[in-house]
Amino acid sequence: MSTARVHEADPRETSVDVTVRHGIAKRVGMLILPVLVVAASVASWQTGVLDSEPSATADAKSLPVATRALARQSAFAYTRQYTGEIVANRQSEVGFEIPGQVARLLVDDGDAVVAGQVLVQLDARRIEALGAEVAARLAGARAQLEELVAGARRQTIEAARARVDELAADHELLRRKRVRRTELVERGAASAEELDDAVSLERAAAARLEQARHDLDALEEGTRRERIAAQRAQVAQLEAQAETIAIDLEKSVLRAPFDATVVQRLVDEGEVVAAGQRVFRLIERGVLQAYVGVPLEALEQLEPETRVRLSAGTDAVRAIVRSRIPEVDPTTRTVTVVLDVSPEDVSRVFAGQMVRLSVTQDKRQPGFWIPTTALVRAEKGLWSCYVVSPDGVLERRPVEVVHTEARRAFVQGLVNEGETIVTAGVHRLSPGQRVSAEPTQ
């Protein structure tokens, strides 16, 4: 059995000891109070930190991202631009068909000319002189032909008859002389030489008489058709020469073949030019065309009479499809489409200027339009995108880029209708990361 000891107050204690003990207790209480306050504050702070930790962790695991729901498309429209060139409807390098010296130049580079306007003239004095000579010869040939067709005059025929009678009398006289000479020779009264002279004179007179009679017959019968035909042929020949000279004279003046603008002058006054040498280069004024090569699959959008717009620098030029050249270029594998530039827009473009033709086509292929900012580069040149699962976890899905435009791409792959994809900020994401979807348009 234990014995408990009870401390009893010493009755010998004095009032001074009691006072000292009260002072000590007071000082200790004053020191403990601040410590308790600090301890209470620390406990309160720790409690606040512990209470806030779950919220901060949740925010770190659920990163807000911009998203969009996928909508399947059965086809997509895409626009392609094809480059072409503005050309003049007609352009010519004109020159003379005959050689000569340039006498006058009437236009210069940049001048606008109309069809038939004189551009340059050659020195034509030699041609004019030759023309005068041929004209004179032609006049004489025509007069002679008229005489042959009309036949001989009565006075000419009478003169021919008189000539025949005269020659007949001469021939008869010489015949009688020849007969007498023959008788004298037979009697020995004349020499054989004198007989030979008489025979010769008679024969000459007979020949003259025969020719005179022939001429008389011709005059009485009129001019023979063969001679008239020959004279007519000579007249026709001279007429052809005169026509050739007239053409050469006309060709010595060079005229504009159509309404045009002079692009380049290639000769000067005094220069001798050859036949066919280029003198001016012209392009038709007010009519321009565009030649654009397009692939075969785009032709159905460019039927004749289709109205389109061409891009010429910063300008839009109206045009209409004129024709399609039925031949595939062996190098570019395209078909050339010819377009007429609208007359109202001709002044806004120039021959040789490059233009672009935009053609919109529909392609039957299912897929989804997504922003290009949603694409994530994968290995070996492939692409993917992030899909947000229903519980907010990212999944990386491979996709195939079928077509791209400035800010969007048409894709197909392991994505489905209605799934939510991340549309921006994909560079800071990774598969399995928890995010908070924020739908965007």
How far is Cα 324 from Cα 333, in angstroms, rounded to an integer?
14
Task: Return the pLDDT at 220.
Answer: 63
Task: Return the pLDDT at 24.
Answer: 36
- Superfamily for domain range 80-88+286-363: Efflux pump adaptor protein, beta barrel domain (2.40.30.170)
User: What is the β-pairing status of strands 63-69 and 435-439?
Assistant: parallel
Q: CB of 321 within 8 A of CB of 336?
A: no
Task: Return the pLDDT at 380.
Answer: 81
Q: CB of 82 within 8 A of CB of 231?
A: no
Fold match between 63-75+365-439 and 96-120+252-283? no
Task: Return the ∠ at Cα 126 (arms to 258 and 246), rounded to 5°.
Answer: 50
Mean pLDDT, 10 residues at a time, the chain of 441 residues: 36 36 41 40 39 43 89 90 94 95 95 96 95 95 84 73 88 88 82 85 90 79 75 94 95 95 94 95 93 92 94 92 94 94 92 93 91 91 93 93 91 94 92 91 69
How far is Cα 158 from Cα 70, in angstroms, rounded to an integer?
124
Task: List for the chain the helix, strand, coil content (%; round to 5).
Answer: 40, 30, 25
Give per-residue burial for 28-54: e unless 16+ CB within 10 Å, then b.
eeeeeeeeeeeeeeeeeeeeeeeeeee
- Tokens 């062996």 correspond to 330
User: What is the β-pairing status of strands 253-255 and 91-95?
Assistant: unpaired
Could you name the CATH architecture of 96-120+252-283? Beta Barrel (2.40)
What is the model's pTM? 0.56
Tokens of 142: 């025509």
CATH number of 63-75+365-439: 2.40.420.20
Task: Return the pLDDT at 40.
Answer: 40
Q: CB of 383 within 8 A of CB of 375?
A: yes
How far is Cα 423 from Cα 92, in angstroms, rounded to an integer?
58
Q: Dump pLDDT digits (tens) for 222-268.
A: 556 788 889 899 999 999 999 999 999 999 999 999 999 999 999 99
Annotated domain spans of the chain: 63-75+365-439, 80-88+286-363, 96-120+252-283, 127-247
Task: Return the pLDDT at 326.
Answer: 93
Output the furthest CA–CA distance in the chain (Å, rounded): 246
